[in-house]
Amino acid sequence: MKFTLLIQSAPIDSQSSATALRFARALLAKGHEIERIFFYRSGVQSANRLALAPQDEPNLPLEWQSFISEHQLDAVVCIAAAIRRGIVNAAETARYGVEGDNLIEAAELSGLGQLVAACAASDRVITFGGGA
């Protein structure tokens, strides 16, 4: 079965990002496919490589980076949500005239069209966080 994962909450606000990562690991362990991991709204904070965690807590952006790279997964960060939260890649630093990119290397910035395409190509779309 092919899954798309949508992460909408920041790692510091809830357990959603950590739960999504555990779920993603379990999917692959059971032989399922991950079509795309899409970070949206505050969930884009999971792709901020400069986010630091106390020594006794997991550093979820680094864990996501390792997981995505290890399994060569497609990971997309909503560009509008990321820019609003100061998360940029090298191209956006040049575009906006700011210094220092902070997007994890395993992910790319793109728009909601990537989420729509992934949903259409997947058997299941699982959302983590974002509830009011």
Give the catalytic positions in this structure: 78
d(CA 98, CA 88): 9
d(CA 82, CA 10): 12
d(CA 118, CA 35): 6
